[in-house]
Structure 1
Amino acid sequence: MAKIALGTTSEAALPELWRALVVEFITTFLFVFAGVGSAMATDKLEADALVALFAIAVTHALVVAVMISAGHISGGHLNPAVTLGLLVGGHITVFRSLLYWMDQLLAAAAACYLLEYLTSGLTTPIHSLASGVGYLQGVIWEIILTFSLLFTVYATIVDPKKGALNGLGPTLTGFVVGANILAGGAFSGASMNPARSFGPALVCWNWTDHWVYWVGPLIGGGLAGFIYENLFIFRPTTHLPIPIEEEAF
């Protein structure tokens, strides 16, 4: 069973950690900028609901695939739920995870504030539950969708025995994000990412249903990381946390 490593504050003195944090900020910023920007664009163009959903799904799929690849120094998490999933699998320390979470939230907020300025105050769409979708239903949607995301990350990127999938992980992860938005976007919004939901909520100061987009993704991400790491990855020696720059994700 993978062990969660606490880490120490001495990690803050490591140059590689700060390089990783800078890269994580940049990639998360660009991911949120494109993702939220696509939602704002479809609103401005008054696109048909189905067309808008498809456009948003494709945008997220493409930007996730690219930013994971571009963020290889930090691992390209882009998402507190991904960081948690890797934490419970023993791939990153608690101390670094906390720094990553702060980094991701700051990047998401910065991207959304910039979008508000660049669009002359156009409303930033928040994630909220659709009419007729209750809190429990919304949480379950987000648990399943985020579980799917992290299971894909582990199977195609983290697992050392990924075989023919080697190198395809970022693209396949982008595909599952896009598919999940098509499946759940009309119901829960298919966030799968607390930072992606946090930025728009902060800018609009509209926290309707916001807790759902923390509880669901963190449960789903943590559960997927724990299950895959402990049931499907076999290591001949005790698994130790991998330095950030050596991670595949």
Structure 2
Amino acid sequence: MTPLLSRALLAEGLGTFALVFFGPGAAVVQAQTGALGHLGVAAVFGLTVTAVIAALAPISGAHINPAATFALALAGRFPRRRVLPYLGAQLLGATLAAFTLLALFGREGHLGVTVPAGSWARALALETLLTFFLLLVALRSGLPWAVGGVVALEAVMGGPITGASMNPARSFGPALASGIWTAHWVYWVAPLLGAALAVATNHVLSPAQPLEAQPGRAQEFRPEGEPI
């Protein structure tokens, strides 16, 4: 394993840990105190994603989401040989964060586990659409505030129905720590479907000839030292 890859995996693990610790952690605090409200929990998710991308994107790309890694690999922007190592780092970070919440708060709020409120079919469709729009923004912008803003927006709208996961790792950690696996497969299948749709749509929207590079444009989740 090269030093660059080791640093990237550490960054992915730390970033996913932060996402699950602060995001589902906010849901746990809301369940315990009622102090944050639904909008507050959504804001915590968005702010966490914004901060993680700003801090860690130069190192690992700050995917912090298996669906994002899958989308970038499918789009040819990320080496496929790194997909499984990134997945492992993301799941490990999410799991450590969820068990940290368990140690701090017990099973309060079921540790922010994502469970459909209603049918699995509706949850599958909603999570697919939420992930589609999130990753379309990520593919076309990659700017921390844009991606974090979409996460917060979609958490406000979809949170009460599905938990607005859009991220298999975010759902996996709390499910493992809480032991609640209700319709967990939805939170893997839907994000991957949404990722594939986002890649296809981005391909259609992209110009036939490459545009000139714009100063200050984000590197679209490309870690340091990674060739285009």
Q: TM-score range by the shorter chain?
A: 0.7 to 0.9
Structure 2's unaligned 5+ residue stretches are 211-220
Q: Determine the structure 1 residue equivalent to 2:112.
A: 125
Tell me the C-alpha RMSD between the 2 structures. Answer: 2.0
Q: Determine the structure 1 residue equivalent to 2:136.
A: 151
Q: Name the SS for the 1:20 alignment partner.
A: helix
| 2:73 aligned residue (80, 87, 90) | 87
| 2:83 aligned residue (97, 110, 125) | 97
Shift of 1:111: 0.3
Q: Name the SS for the 1:124 alignment partner.
A: helix
| 1:244 aligned residue (220, 223, 227) | 223
Shift of 1:56: 1.1
| 2:167 aligned residue (168, 193, 196) | 193
2:48 is aligned with 1:63: yes
Q: Determine the structure 1 residue equivalent to 2:214.
A: none
Contact 2:116-2:162 at 8 Å conserved across structures: yes
Runs of 4+ residues over 3 Å off in structure 1? 120-123, 233-236
- Quote the sequence identity (%): 39
2:32 is aligned with 1:38: no
What letter is aligned with 2:133? S
Contact 1:35-1:60 at 8 Å conserved across structures: yes
Shift of 1:103: 0.6
Q: Determine the structure 1 residue equivalent to 2:218.
A: none
For the structure 1 residues 30 and 233, does the alpha-carbon distance in structure 2 shift closer, same or farther, using more than 3 Å as the test?
farther
For the structure 1 residues 121 and 143, does the alpha-carbon distance in structure 2 shift closer, same or farther, using more than 3 Å as the test?
closer
Shift of 1:244: 3.4
State the TM-score, normalizing by the size of structure 2. Answer: 0.88
What letter is aligned with 1:213? Y
| 1:22 aligned residue (4, 7, 10) | 10
Shift of 1:121: 4.8
What letter is aligned with 2:44? T
Q: Which structure: greater helix fraction? A: 2
Residue correspondences, number: 215
State the TM-score, normalizing by the size of structure 1. Answer: 0.81
Q: Name the SS for the 2:98 alignment partner.
A: helix
